Chain A
Amino acid sequence: MATTVSLPATPHREPSHRYESGVWSWLATTDHKRIGQLYLYTSLFWFLVGGIEAAIIRTQLYGPNQHLVTAQTYNELFTMHGTTMIFLVVMPLSAAFFNFLIPLQIGARDVAFPRLNAFSYWIFLFGGLFINFSWLLHAAPNGGWFGYAPLTTRPFSPGLNIDFWVLGLQILGLSSLAAGFNFITTIINMRAPGMHFMRMPIFSWMAFITQFMIVLAFPIFTVALTFLMLDRFFGTNFYEIQAGADPLLWQHLFWLFGHPEVYILILPAFGLVSEVVPVFSRKPLFGYPVMVYSGILIAFLGFGVWAHHMFAVGMGPIADSFFSITTMLIAIPTGVKIFNWLGTMWGGSLRFTTAMKFAIALVALFTIGGISGVMHSSPPSDLQQTDSYFIVAHFHYVLFGGSLMGLFAGLYFYYPKITGRLMNEKIGSWHFWLTAIGMNLTFFPMHFLGLDGMPRRISSYDAGQGWESNNHLASYGAALIVIGTVFFVYNWFASMRKGAVAGNDPWGGATLEWAIPSPPPDYNFATIPQVTSRYPLWDRKSPQMTSEVPHGTRDEQKMEVKIAGKTTGTAPAPADTKLNAPNAHPSAKQLGINMPTPTIRPLLAAFFLGCVFVGLIAHRNLPIMFISAALFVLSLYSWLLTPLEPEHH
């Protein structure tokens, strides 16, 4: 692609050119693809941390009466494992995909508010570091990831542990909220011409629905946390039993947030699976409209089931019945999706790439988790299951077997788009099988442990209760998961240097992101595409795939990837085998596309805002708090009064 275009008359060089390479380019980036990668690497790091916490837990629980860790440390471990996995792994991994993928799928150049996007990341980074800093002070949060008051009020939790938890989560909440407003606006307003909502890729749809859940559920959590913060730091009475507070206030507020939160955790993974399965079945998604409506219905109903986490507190028969019914109802749209994925694969030409394996694993494992979930929906049966390992089994099947499997599917699927190279399929297979077998070995026995009476959150158990063998199995499974993860980490980094060059579209994808180079240029699309269907690339290259043929294998017109067993993935190499060869594609300037200027202001604003919280936890240091707040406001003014893009000439 020789570029002999004459440049526009001397564009004046923005002073930010120092931000165009090296570390500064990352610190000052407003590019959604870079921000997505920042989220990705940060959350993969926290995944390892959370995994180590789990490994210690499983080692401690291997046999009866072990003393690898004290009970106090054990409390910190399971609290941080849960908090980390939910807020620092699954949510930001989903955010990595929101960031990287949404503009590409909808045919946009960036998100609606690029600097706000950067801010969301930096405040997330600060929050993760803040809450984990507590480990260094031997004061990690220890009240469970759900932090029930009054246990977490100062009289019952006097140390810094819960302070870190409350403030850390407040910081993280800000990140999610800001991103929510950004993506909602982006999806509503920045779709390419012709991309009606019902032509939008299903991942973008699920992401869109998730953002609404975030912006509506997180404020409730903010209030619940604020009450706890005010009680702990300023002596208010929201959760003070002595002052007549209701011990259920926290629970209701928390679960009003907490239940939509679990749908926030799963819908993006569902979206990724809905991208992967059609491509590797060489068939359009079965029942696209139903997939959309069921997602919307899940979000809707998800706000009406929260007290099913509270069946054991004694709300009375009317409340119990109501929430039991709504919980059973929500199984319907969820189940519908399972059938639609099966319907997609039925009669398709299946390719079992690693991404596809993880996607199919979600379909199977989430179903198991869903079945145990429906068992919890009945209050009498839940009274036996609640607070036992049966629940631990359920939520790990849906979160690990569901969310994480879906996210891995997305990672393998989109790795080529992000890095320009393919991951090694053989190593990927090892990762998959070790993880899938390990996960089932860890969590399936927990169903039995729960029914045999093993409670949650105990740091050790006595011998002779019949719990040893299942705990052994669970710990062996955890070891397999650890090994599988090692394969994954190795594969990720090795493939960046040695993986086969992917080209634009190694998998034969259907949607817009596969039409552009891998990795994409900063402006994404040289020209904004005009969209005429749900599967723009299939319509163009393989029109027979989108005609309504229910059965039969399809011609592999573009078998660019060979499955593990023959050769690892190869794609026809472009003429230039070096990635990012000079002049590989024209620059934004050469195309006359005005891109946002990189700027350090979002990072500064995030930093100063974070410092306010540091001041609060450092014994209510008012000078630090006020100075930081003032600096935050100043950086905000500087940000808002600076134009997003350089003047167009």
Chain B
Amino acid sequence: MAADHSHATLAHDAEGNVSPPEHTHPDWGTYKWVALILTVLTGMEVWIYYIPSFTKTNLFVPTLLILSAVKFTIVVMFYMHLKYDAKLFRALFVGPLTFAAFTIVGLLFLFGHLKISF
């Protein structure tokens, strides 16, 4: 997936920067599917919000978190084409994202919103 940068005849853009040979970019079909899945998942999230018996269970929050994580991931992978782009961009994003997630969890614990029992 990483571009072959040593190729002698790489294209130059207006700034003289080399751009990697065009990767497979998602096409209109893929974009449409992503949009459709986003709509469906959002609909699902709102739907389960209105089921009182479900919202009272312990599954409510994890389900919502998983659904939104999926939405997050497909936007990032396909719309921001992280799936198709250089690994460096993935590192630049996933690194801080992971750190930030851990920080949120850590803070929630420190302020007593999460209980840890041994």
Contacts and interface: CB of A to CB of B under 8 A. Distances in A.
Main secondary structure on B side of the interface with A? helix
B72 to A, nearest CB: 19
Contacts of B116: 318
B107 interface: yes
A252 interface: yes
Given A252-B111, A319-B110, 10 more contacts: A188-B88, A216-B96, A246-B111, A248-B111, A256-B103, A303-B99, A303-B103, A315-B110, A318-B116, A319-B109
Nearest to A184: B92
Contact of B110 (A188, A303, A307): A307
Interface in B63-118: 88, 96, 99, 103, 107, 109-111, 116
Interface string A604-623: 00000000000000000000
Contacts of B96: 216
A412 B88 CA distance: 37
Interface residues of A, number: 11
Given A188-B88, A318-B116, A252 B107 contact: yes
6 contacts: A216-B96, A246-B111, A248-B110, A256-B103, A303-B99, A307-B110
Contact of A216 (B88, B99, B107): B99
Interface string A502-533: 00000000000000000000000000000000
A314 to B, nearest CB: 11
Nearest to A319: B110
Contacts of B99: 216, 303
Contacts of A246: 111
Contacts of A307: 110
Interface string A290-312: 00000000000001000100000
A642 to B, nearest CB: 14
A412 B90 CA distance: 40
Interface of B: 88, 96, 99, 103, 107, 109-111, 116
Nearest to B109: A319
Contacts of B88: 188
Nearest to B96: A216
B29 to A, nearest CB: 33
Contacts of B111: 246, 248, 252
A423 to B, nearest CB: 40
A307 B106 CA distance: 11
Nearest to B17: A189
Contacts of A188: 88
Nearest to B14: A643
Nearest to A215: B96
A315 B116 CA distance: 14
A246 B110 CA distance: 12
Nearest to B112: A316
A634 B107 CA distance: 40
B43 to A, nearest CB: 33
A592 B96 CA distance: 41
Interface string A244-260: 00101000100010000
A188 B116 CA distance: 41
A520 to B, nearest CB: 22
A252 B110 CA distance: 9
Contacts of A216: 96, 99
Contacts of A252: 107, 110-111
A188 B91 CA distance: 12
A252 B103 CA distance: 11
Contacts of B107: 252
A409 B62 CA distance: 54
Contacts of A319: 109-110
B52 to A, nearest CB: 28
Interface in A301-344: 303, 307, 315, 318-319
A166 B116 CA distance: 36
Contacts of A315: 110
A319 B109 CA distance: 9
Nearest to B15: A644
A464 to B, nearest CB: 42
A246 B96 CA distance: 26
A307 B111 CA distance: 12
A256 B116 CA distance: 22
Contacts of B109: 319
A248 B112 CA distance: 12
A286 B107 CA distance: 39
A116 B109 CA distance: 39
B55 to A, nearest CB: 26
Contacts of A248: 110-111
The 3 closest A-B pairs by CB, nearest first: A216-B96, A319-B110, A303-B99
A252 B109 CA distance: 12
Contacts of A303: 99, 103
A216 B101 CA distance: 13
A188 B88 CA distance: 9
A508 B86 CA distance: 39
Nearest to A189: B17
Interface in A57-78: none
A241 B16 CA distance: 56
B112 to A, nearest CB: 9
A24 to B, nearest CB: 27
Contacts of B110: 248, 252, 307, 315, 319
A303 B101 CA distance: 12
A649 to B, nearest CB: 15
A240 B103 CA distance: 23
